[in-house]
Amino acid sequence: MKRQKLVILGATGSIGVNTLDVAGRHPDRFEILALTAHSQTDRLFEQCCRFRPRYAVVPAADVAAQLESRLRQAGCGTSVLVGIDALEQVACLPDADAVMAAIVGAAGLRPTLAAVRAGKKVLLANKEALVMAGPVFMSEVARSGALLLPIDSEHNAIFQSLQNDISSSLEKKGVRRILLTASGGPFRNASLETLADVTPEQACAHPNWVMGRKISVDSATMMNKGLEVIEAHWLFGAARECIEVVVHPQSVIHSMVEYADGSVIAQLGNPDMRTPIAHALAYPERIEAGVEPLDLHRIGRLDFEPPDFSRFPCLRLAFEALERGGNAPTVLNAANEVAVEAFLGAGMPFMCIPMIIEETLAAVPQADVEDLPAVMAADATARETARRLVRKRCLQQA
Ligand code: NAD
Ligand code: MG
């Protein structure tokens, strides 16, 4: 069997580490061509020593020089490249078979788009890239013929429940609704009053999943589900009315598709990202992922609740941004990234996150985002506006 050559953007993060865990179980199938990281250079060093990629990418020249010399001493010939251009370069290496897009946030857009434009098999974890640039992203997929496989567990579940067929419209396939499940996050039962005082540590302690800090806060505000609603819209061509969010605290059903005849097809599994990662890596085959078998007797019951838009206004804002279209999802995503950073790093209260996003959406004029420069401009304006609103709020509190 010819081995698949993999590029992992964001190799040191939660998705990156899980991807290497799955790939490492199948050295006969996968070889690692390039790994990239933003901060955890020690972890990147260890990954390079084990997987011997041709390239590693880091953000700065001094870090690159240090890493390369450590790698030489360890007998590893990996070349270390620097910066955003290098991220794009490794994302479209001619002999790369698949690219795992696992950088967090808008920083992942350019390299992920480079992989799409090069017609690669793109394993999409970086939902923010798709949310901020939906129309540009999807038209590049159509133009290049890239194979886009969802890593987000819900979208991977929907893809599987659509029987791996996203070539025709949902209507043609007889799909009535997409039921996007949500765990409800760590504050599913918290009152509005207690939400006012939550700390970053509490927000990042997800009951079912271990993830990076940004997506953990997104899960706590339920913006993660909001971003996933928009992601589902673009990936599956689903209209807003066809997407329903169902809170399912056990995170065993990863999402469902309801058909015209009343059939509902779901994908189940333990909440372990190695399942969707293995599914996409081996697609259309199936491989072992190191995931524990699902023990339904131990789980005992599956619960479902409607989402509460008043305690989780971020979810409402995401639905509204999808309805408004144009630059609204770009603005939503950028304002959310700024607000989450202010919550994690600058002590901004948790419930200010939706306020900053709502005010930013109201302040940035509506516009179309039909090309990449328009997306980047909307992203920059929204960030600037959101930062100003954060400063104002933090000053008011001081
Ligand atoms: P993480 O914070 O653990 O890792 C992020 C990775 O991106 C790291 O390798 C980091 O070095 C790199 N990175 C960060 N900022 C960068 C920058 N400016 N430039 C280049 N690289 C940068 O995040 P994660 O939890 O692995 O999530 C990654 C993506 O996958 C996110 O978009 C998230 O929404 C999505 N996702 C994650 C999970 C999960 O279970 N963790 C599930 C579904 C989707
Ligand atoms: Mg998800």
Pairing, β 147-150 against β 121-124: parallel
* Dihedrals phi, psi of 145, to nearest 5 degrees: 75, 20
Residues with CB under 6 A from ligand 1: 10-16, 37-39, 102-104, 107, 125-128, 152, 209, 211-212, 214-215, 273
Closest residue (by CA) to atom 23 of ligand 1?
212
Residue 393, pLDDT score: 84
Dist. CA 113–CA 115, nearest whole Å: 5
* Cα 56 to middle of ligand 1, angstroms: 17
Residue 398, pLDDT score: 65
Confidence of residue 249 (pLDDT cuts 50, 70, 90): very high
Contact assessment for residue 119 and residue 92, using Cβ atoms and an 8 Å cutoff: no
Q: Which residue has the tokens 């005082």?
A: 197
What domains, with CATH codes, occur in the chain?
Answer: 4-150 (3.40.50.720), 325-398 (1.10.1740.10)
As to burial, measured by CB atoms within 10 angstroms (0-12 exposed, 13-18 middle, 19+ buried), residue 197 is exposed
- pLDDT tens profile 293-307: 999 999 999 999 999
- pLDDT tens profile 176-189: 999 999 999 999 99
- pLDDT tens profile 138-175: 999 999 999 999 999 999 999 999 998 888 899 999 99
Closest residue (by CA) to atom 16 of ligand 1?
38
As to burial, measured by CB atoms within 10 angstroms (0-12 exposed, 13-18 middle, 19+ buried), residue 9 is buried
Q: Which of 22, 100, 104, 131 to mutate to test the pocket of ligand 1 (most atoms within 8 A of CB)?
A: 104
Dist. CA 104–CA 10, nearest whole Å: 8
Contact assessment for residue 356 and residue 389, using Cβ atoms and an 8 Å cutoff: yes
Residue 207, pLDDT score: 86
Pairing, β 55-58 against β 79-82: parallel
Distances (CA, A) of 168 to 123, 173, 176, 234: 20, 7, 14, 14
Closest residue (by CA) to atom 25 of ligand 1?
212
Per DSSP, the three-state class of 232 is helix
User: With a threshold of 0.85, does the pTM exceed it?
Assistant: yes
